[in-house]
Amino acid sequence: MAGDGRVIAASRAMGDVLAVLEQAVKTSLPVLLFGESGVGKHCLVEYALRVRGFSGPVPTDSAGGEKGETNCSGTLIVYDLDRLGPEGQQKLLDRLKSSPELWVIATASGNLETAVEDGGFNAELYYRMSVFPLFVPPLRNRKEDIRALGEVLLQKWGAAVNKAYTGFDQDAAAAMCSYGWPGNIRELENAVARACTLGEPPVVHAVDLRLKTALAGDDLIGIGGNGETLRAAVRRFKKAYVSRVLGETGWNQTRACKILGIQRTYLSRLLYELQLRR
């Protein structure tokens, strides 16, 4: 998913989702897409409809409930199924019972199984909708998609701000892949849009992304058996941390030194050693 309706599936995880989805849409059985907010469920709904042969505009409202009915063999789209109240749940269940020919595709961000157990969601509706439950993994669990999505978004936003970017430098690419992306694709697009606006071509640098924190827990140094030496990990930590502080201070080195607790001479040496530049 690239924020413009296209589906990017460089990772095996997303490839598996698409493979099942492509088979599911050929049936009359309901499909339920669930996963964190921002993982691209709406784009997958649009993709599913295109596979079924629908070429019209796809409703994008996500306030919950029956949000769109296409003329593609009778299709009902239900965004945010987990946000439906008891009355809406019963109405949808009645609709499904009375219209067995209706194909339904729904999305959910919350845990419906837990909601069923707690009595907050209609069990019959849940099991009726869970014929093809497809979990869309968060971006942090499909690192291969991050760079591919980033490149597509870079072209989109580079054109939007009339700047000719050719790609991300090594540090920017590393920062993107090590960051946890709690906001998923939506946050990635925001970061790329920000970098295109504030940076200067031909490439995006790590500091241009201005990530809220690339320094959280394991995401900072990529703990996970990547074969990196301690020295290399420490260097990458330094580079990411100094880059973030400089970005937050607008590259005001006096303010950055105060935050870092170092002298200007040492910061100058770090900029040279770490090959950091604005």
Residues 6+ apart with CB under 8 A from 209: 172, 175, 176, 191, 192, 194, 195
Q: How far apart are the first and last CA of the chain?
A: 31
- Per-residue pLDDT band at 157 (split at 50, 70, 90): very high
Q: Please identify, in words, the CATH class of the domain defined by 140-273.
A: mainly alpha
pLDDT, residue 243, reads 83
Tokens of 27: 């049936």
Intrachain domains 12-137 and 140-273 with the same fold: no
Q: Does pLDDT of 69 surpass 60?
A: no
- Per-residue pLDDT band at 255 (split at 50, 70, 90): confident
Check residue 105 and give left, alpha or beta (phi > 0: left; psi -120 to 50: alpha). beta
Q: Does pLDDT of 247 surpass 70?
A: yes
CA 198, distance to chain mean position in Å, is 22
Domain 12-137 has CATH 3.40.50.300: yes
Element (H, E) at 107: strand 103-108
Q: Does pLDDT of 161 surpass 60?
A: yes
Domain spans in the chain, listed from the N-terminal domain onward: 12-137, 140-273
Of 27-31, 183-187, 217-221, 269-273, the least confident: 217-221
Of 42-46, 53-57, 80-84, the least confident: 53-57
pLDDT, residue 72, reads 52
* Cα distances (Å, whole numbers) of residue 133 to 17, 172, 195: 10, 35, 36
